[in-house]
Amino acid sequence: MSTDPIPHFDVDAFISDVEERPAIWDLKSDLYSDRGKKTEAWEELCLKFIPNFSEKNVAEKNKAASQLQRKWKSLRDCFKREHSKQMSVKSGSASSSRKPYIYYQQLSFLKNLADTRRDPSPLPNEVHDATERKRPKKNKTNNEDIQAETDILVRTTLIPYYATIYFGLSTDSASICFGISIGFASTFYGISIKF
């Protein structure tokens, strides 16, 4: 007995039903940015394509919905790869003997979105609860940005300070003295400041 919650899956019907739900795929639609509408669209698809979906418990629903979403992501990604291959063929050049992706024509509604950098269908974590709030994303900072900010801070605050300590020295000379101090600090404390 198969553990696949989606036996006898009709890909053609699935693609048609996804096309009817722009909340899932259309970046330009207002529905796409409405998480509730997106969840509702996935629930509709789950009810249609997953046998006994409404009778499953929450964990089973999430597992089955996740599998259905992976099927969509796979179809969409294969379309994007094929579209990219077709766009890279120079116009007027002879066509290759390879067959195009089997669902390319059916997924042609994605052509307008194929060139965007943003992922066309981020999938909600849970299909069953449209009211659940998504955790805010952590603010990720690039280490190079932190390093650059540190360097600017050092140059604008500490070097003039060193110039007053070593009064009589020019800012350039104070900068050299400061560089020696920083070199010692980086070796002793393991910090790195570039200037």
Q: Are 62 and 48 in contact (CB under 8 A)?
A: no
Neighbours of 194 (CB within 10 A): 10
The Cα 123–Cα 112 span in angstroms is 20
What's the predicted TM-score (pTM) here?
Answer: 0.55
pLDDT of residue 180: 65
What is the b/e burial string over 68-89, where b = at least 16 CB atoms within 10 angstroms of the residue's CB? bbebbeebbeebbebbeeeeee
pLDDT of residue 144: 62
pLDDT of residue 153: 55
How confident is the prediction along the chain (195 residues), in pLDDT tens digits per residue? 445 556 678 999 999 999 999 999 998 889 999 999 999 999 999 999 999 999 999 999 999 999 999 999 999 999 999 998 888 876 656 566 778 889 999 999 998 776 554 444 555 544 544 444 455 555 555 556 666 665 555 555 555 555 555 556 666 666 666 666 666 555 555 555 555
pLDDT of residue 177: 61
User: 162 — phi, psi (to 5°)?
Assistant: -65, -30
The Cα 44–Cα 50 span in angstroms is 10
Please write down the long-range contacts of 7-10, taking CB distance under 8 Å and 24 or more positions apart.
7/51, 9/49, 9/71, 10/49
